[in-house]
Amino acid sequence: MNTIGTRFRVTIFGASHDTCIGCVIDGIPAGIELDLDYIQKEVDCRKPVALIGTPRKEEDKVEVLAGLKDEVTTGIPLVIQIKNSNTDSSKYEKFKIIPRPGHADFPAFEKYGPAHDIRGGGQFSGRMTAPLTAAGAIAKEMLLGIDVKIAAYTQSIGSIDDPAEHTFKEIKRETKENPVHAADPEIALDMLNEILTAKDDGDSVGGIVRCLTEGLPVGVGEPFFDTLDGEIAKMMFAIPGVKGIEFGAGFKATKMRGSIHNDPYSVVDDYLIKTDTNNAGGVLGGLSNGMPLDFKVAFKPTASIFKEQKSVNLGKMEKETLLIEGRHDPCIVPRAVAPVEAATAIVLTDLCLRGDFIA
């Protein structure tokens, strides 16, 4: 379905080459002041950067059509539109017959038939993360009211990895300064080169976005089924190109003993309970435990590459070689940092409303 959330419900609409894309957000209380410049800046963070992003140039102007008066919410669903203006659908026709390996073309045609809108990837396009990011910016504004903040950064691209721990402030500062949104300026250069090298080869690369929170109170999450980690994971898999998620020590936990993996408790400032390590990634029993939520999201290499690929002709039911033309991101990761933050904010706002952490 195209709607997520219980108390903060976000519906995404439109497709990559429709007149517009957008979102409807239900559940924002009346009387909340929204900063439209902030929302626009957040959406702009996912814009492609020259050479390492798609050449498709969209203004991505966030237009609020309903639910806001004098920048204050009125309590009715907030309707946001983002126009599509720089579309070129000409290169997509052939994927109806010869599906792109790695993209949604084949299963989408099998499911929806010839009516499936394949232009620009249709409803499966990474472009749908523009309205997601707008909704997330509003969620972030609501979370700021209870001092909850979110910061994500590019932790790896291809073989270039940033294994260091970074402070929240460092992430916030550095990711704005480099085109791959890394937390380390020197590693950012290597990451940039990794993308350029793959691109020169007509190829693509994947990578990891790491996301952290600050100020998340204890007890956010609604077990049994609407656990904090479960809701975050579901949301992350809505972002096109996501192949995995791990919290804290993640898969490495399988190689640790309990004595190493358990995060020991300490009393801080006489009143706060913290853990010395954060192998749990801030979540125990599906509830936040007062430590930063800490998870990594794995992105695959972009499917649309410019090398000859093996596919099939669905009309003739024969094998056929495919050569893709058009405008594509050689790497999704830098453009996914803002959507990961936004998607996290939407889930946290919903769960914080459900748990009465937000009035």
Ligand X SMILES: Cc1cc2nc3c(=O)[nH]c(=O)nc-3n(C[C@H](O)[C@H](O)[C@H](O)COP(=O)(O)O)c2cc1C
User: 16 is in the binding site of which of ligand EPS, ligand X, none (Cβ under 5 to 8 A by kind)?
Assistant: ligand EPS
**Range in contact with ligand EPS (rule: CB under 6 A) among 153-161, 178-186, 275-283, 322-330:** 322-330
Task: Say which amino acid occupies 128.
Answer: M
* CB burial readout 226-244, b (16+ within 10 A) else e: bbbbbbbbebbebbbbbee
Residue 120 binding ligand EPS, by CB under 6 A = yes
176 annotated among ligand-binding-site residues? no
Instruction: Note the residue count of the chain.
Output: 359
CB 327 within 8 A of CB 92: no
> Using the rule CB under 6 A, which residue among 5, 126, 281, 290 binds ligand X?
126
**Range in contact with ligand EPS (rule: CB under 6 A) among 2-10, 122-130, 169-177, 201-209:** 122-130
CA distance 1 to 214: 30
302 annotated among ligand-binding-site residues? yes
Residue 240 binding ligand X, by CB under 6 A = yes
CB of 157 to ligand X, least distance (A): 14
> Using the rule CB under 6 A, which residue among 81, 95, 127, 333 binds ligand EPS?
127
Backbone angles phi, psi at 48, to 5 degrees: -70, 145
Token output for 165: 């721990």
Closest CA to 323 of 89, 98, 114, 97: 98
Give the count of alpha carbons within 13 A of 125, CB side only. Answer: 29
**Range in contact with ligand EPS (rule: CB under 6 A) among 67-75, 120-128, 135-143, 340-348:** 120-128
CA distance 205 to 236: 19
Residue 94 binding ligand EPS, by CB under 6 A = no
CA distance 352 to 141: 13
Residue 354 binding ligand EPS, by CB under 6 A = no
> Using the rule CB under 6 A, which residue among 5, 22, 121, 179 binds ligand X?
121
300 annotated among ligand-binding-site residues? yes
The two beta strands, 242-247 and 265-268, are unpaired
> Using the rule CB under 6 A, which residue among 14, 22, 99, 121 binds ligand EPS?
121
Residues in touch with ligand EPS (CB under 6 A): 16, 54, 56, 58, 87, 120-121, 125-127, 130, 240, 326-328
